[in-house]
Amino acid sequence: MTPALAVRDLHFAYPDRRPALRGVTFSLAEGENVGLIGPNGAGKSTLLLHLNGVLPERPAGSPVVVFGRSDLPSVRRDVGLLFQDPDDQLFCPTVWEDVLFGPRQLGLGDETARQALAQVGLLNFEDRSPHHLSRGEKRRVCLAGVLACQPRLLALDEPTSDLDPRGRRELKAVLRGIPATKLIATHDLEMVVELCPRTILLDQGEIVADGPTLDLLDDEPLMLAHGLERPHLLDHLKGRPHGRNTTETQRHGEPDGRAG
């Protein structure tokens, strides 16, 4: 089967020649929910920006293939990108105009915007100003705008950052109900445990581990070597059944203690 996403030997450096991605290679099957973790500066956001062609330069050789296609119009149509800061994504006077903007550019009907608002629990927010909403509500408006474009793959950058416990619960409930393939870059390791059977660990632009979430996050030496901590939620899950990926955790080189 054609993977939902195939990234092959992706390298990228910013104008100051600082390497951000070093030969990143992985793939996602359609319908997978995969966590992307790593310390600050690991390259997680840079990787997500490549999936939607946001960065001004795209490396040669089509290193990013989405559902078998690598041309930018197709990739941008199939990949919905949720930015880390909702204020970077909201620019219209009302919630309705913000959510409707994307579908109208794609020639989709207004009903897709209504369905997306219902999906995130904000159906009665159409006339409200996005900039007067809570952080969690803003994040859900942004997600509605992405969903209204009917992407097949969601790339989510720190979707629960700066949210209070209620906001995190509400957003996680919404994400659970979305059938699209998801790659979730986050420091919220408890969310990764709850939503993502598989996890990829990125550090200094390289994939250092890829495998079942419970095994990877339970490897305390690996986590500490890459600036992370084993989530306490694992203690409550020991001995309980959990969806597991069929592949074993793969380490891409030994951890060297660098936090990135």
The DSSP bridge pattern shows strands 153-157 and 181-185 to be parallel
pLDDT of residue 255: 42
3-class DSSP state of 91 = coil
pLDDT of residue 251: 65
- CA angle centred on 150, ends 85 and 132, rounded to 5°: 35
pLDDT of residue 253: 56
Write the DSSP symbol of residue 69.
B
Per-residue pLDDT of the chain (260 residues; tens, 9 = 90+): 799 999 999 999 988 888 999 999 999 999 999 999 999 999 999 999 999 888 755 555 678 999 999 988 999 999 999 999 988 889 899 999 999 999 998 888 899 999 999 999 999 999 999 989 998 999 999 999 999 999 999 999 999 998 989 989 999 999 999 999 999 999 999 999 999 999 999 999 999 999 999 999 999 999 999 999 999 888 887 665 444 433 345 666 544 433 33
Joined tokens for residue 74: 């197709």
Domains and CATH numbers, the chain: 32-58+67-251 (3.40.50.300)
Q: Report the alpha-carbon distance of residue 2 to residue 44 in Å, rounded.
A: 24
Give me the residues paired with residue 181 across strands.
Answer: 153
Q: What is the pTM of this model?
A: 0.88
